[in-house]
Amino acid sequence: MKKTIIAIATIAVMAPTMALADDHEKGQALSYSGPVDTVTVAELLEDTGMLTERNAVVEGKLIKQINAETFIFSDGTKEIQVEIDDDMRLPQTIDATTQVRLFGEYEGGNTPEIEVDRLQIL
């Protein structure tokens, strides 16, 4: 009897949580289309110190693919290497003419790069 009561109580507690988790998985990421503060690649490259890290939002084009996760990005002012995880999925194929907005972390050093957290097609 105790085991039955514990099982029923456990299901009663977990059911709403599982339902919310299922709804979250079916939903899409927030897609905001209003104004966003961006920075140019030239501004980022002004500080290439080894310890430099900062959040950055840039707009431009992925002009060349180096390997599965590494691309060259240009915003029209300069070019920078970007790293995009190969598990990132997009609703459409992009090419060197596709305008994108990258959200990520800029890291200075010998090869400055942006580690992309999110990519938005404009």
Does pTM surpass 0.75?
no
pLDDT in tens, 54-74: 999 999 999 999 998 999 999
pLDDT in tens, 9-53: 666 666 665 555 544 444 555 666 677 888 999 999 998 888 889
**Distance between CA atoms of residues 29 and 75, nearest Å:** 25
β-pair partners for 104: 56, 116
Q: Sketch out the chain's domains with CATH numbers.
A: 41-121 (2.40.50.200)
From first CA to last CA, the distance across the chain in angstroms is: 60
